[in-house]
Homo-oligomer: A and B are copies of this chain.
């Protein structure tokens, strides 16, 4: 069985494991105050074009999202997010558990538009009873989205301007950020994210690390006392150096970018094969998740050899599926999948 189910099925890139091994017996202070975290922060900061951001390392994405949002909002404030946003669908109400409503917006492909944000803002403030309604205060977007789509640099600049104009915070969930950075064209780089958002995180768990997310806080007012809140929410790792070591490995020689590009290239090979075979797509993704719409009999045949998610029923004869690549996907596995997608030989498998 060849797996295209997720981008977190394996352990970590070997460079990371080696670095963990090589540093193992060193004694360091705990809780992220060690020299590895310091070095990793420096390596990331070097990509931020001088933006004086605070960088914190947390273990996982849900933890990062709930900690940032709990720290950023006053009790009556709410998050604006796409209905498909991870915080709205797959974090077991972690945001609500911190006391805040998620105002969910239906979208075509996981992307919030400028119009969505303006409309939500207007709906609130033009309602004479707005004090009886949660106040939208923070815009949460994912880059890439849960649909594999991305915000272009122009998209992000527009959202950022709107948020500034409307006094809304802008936060980017970058669980798979590497894959968006790997997209060809006018996509926001790390320095753009630092310039255009109040906070964003650089996902490690799905991009080669054992675990770990690097939260970059750009807005001065969000920085204060942030470590207290990480600790309160259970996110301050005792052996914090493990996060520093991993992000140092990822950013020392461009490993993060390199392995993201690799994964995206493999995904685009799958995309091209589906296009060549005449299949439509649920979402127009240029990242490591591809959502082709396949005939049910094709799906059934593929399931004999490959593990992947059935994403959504389209009609009685077709469903959209998800193929997910990662730093750890062997190129030959993609060859085999393409072979099967293009028909012919796969009955023999």
Q: Which residues of A contact B (CB under 8 A)?
A: 3, 6, 8-12, 14, 17, 20-21, 23-31, 59-64, 66-67, 70-71, 74-76, 78, 89-94, 96-102, 129, 131-135, 205-206, 210-211, 225, 227-229, 231-239, 241-242, 328
Give the Cβ gap from A302 to chain B, nearest Cβ, in Å: 17
**In the complex, chain B residues whose CB is within 8 Å of the CB of A239:** 8, 11, 205, 210-211
Q: Which 7 A-B pairs have the closest CB atoms?
A: A63-B234, A11-B24, A76-B228, A92-B232, A93-B134, A9-B27, A92-B231
Give the Cβ gap from A284 to chain B, nearest Cβ, in Å: 25
Q: Which residue of B lies closest to A104 (CB)?
A: B104
Task: Establish whether residues A225 and B76, one from each chain, have CB atoms under 8 Å apart when the complex forms.
Answer: yes
Given contacts A27-B10, A70-B75, A229-B75, contact A132 B234 (CB under 8 A): no
Task: Establish whether residues A71 and B75, one from each chain, have CB atoms under 8 Å apart when the complex forms.
Answer: yes
Q: Which of B17, B76, B102, B236 touches A20 (beta carbons < 8 Å)?
A: B17
Given contacts A62-B231, A76-B225, A231-B132, contact A96 B94 (CB under 8 A): no
Judged by DSSP, the binding face of A is loop
For the complex, what is the distance from the CA of A59 to the CA of B213, rounded to whole Å?
14
For the complex, what is the distance from the CA of A328 to the CA of B91, rounded to whole Å?
37
**In the complex, chain B residues whose CB is within 8 Å of the CB of A133:** 89-90, 92
Give the Cβ gap from A322 to chain B, nearest Cβ, in Å: 13
Q: Which residue of B lies closest to A309 (CB)?
A: B128
**In the complex, chain B residues whose CB is within 8 Å of the CB of A76:** 92-93, 225, 228-229, 231-232
6 contacts between A and B (CB under 8 A): A14-B24, A17-B24, A59-B59, A59-B237, A62-B234, A135-B228
Q: Which residue of B lies closest to A59 (CB)?
A: B59
Q: Which residue of B lies closest to A3 (CB)?
A: B27
Given contacts A8-B30, A74-B225, A92-B76, contact A234 B25 (CB under 8 A): no
Task: Establish whether residues A96 and B101, one from each chain, have CB atoms under 8 Å apart when the complex forms.
Answer: yes
**In the complex, chain B residues whose CB is within 8 Å of the CB of A61:** 238
Give the Cβ gap from A179 to chain B, nearest Cβ, in Å: 16
For the complex, what is the distance from the CA of A276 to the CA of B8, rounded to whole Å?
55
Q: Which of B12, B102, B228, B237 touches A60 (beta carbons < 8 Å)?
A: B237
For the complex, what is the distance from the CA of A210 to the CA of B10, rounded to whole Å?
18
Task: Establish whether residues B11 and A23, one from each chain, have CB atoms under 8 Å apart when the complex forms.
Answer: yes
Give the Cβ gap from A167 to chain B, nearest Cβ, in Å: 12
Known contacts A93-B99, A98-B99; 8 further A-B pairs (Cβ under 8 A) = A8-B238, A9-B30, A59-B237, A62-B234, A71-B74, A92-B134, A211-B237, A211-B238
Task: Establish whether residues A11 and B25, one from each chain, have CB atoms under 8 Å apart when the complex forms.
Answer: yes
For the complex, what is the distance from the CA of A301 to the CA of B64, rounded to whole Å?
43
Task: Establish whether residues A328 and B25, one from each chain, have CB atoms under 8 Å apart when the complex forms.
Answer: yes
Give the Cβ gap from A196 to chain B, nearest Cβ, in Å: 25
Task: Establish whether residues B232 and A94, one from each chain, have CB atoms under 8 Å apart when the complex forms.
Answer: yes
**In the complex, chain B residues whose CB is within 8 Å of the CB of A99:** 93, 96-99
Task: Establish whether residues A236 and B62, one from each chain, have CB atoms under 8 Å apart when the complex forms.
Answer: yes
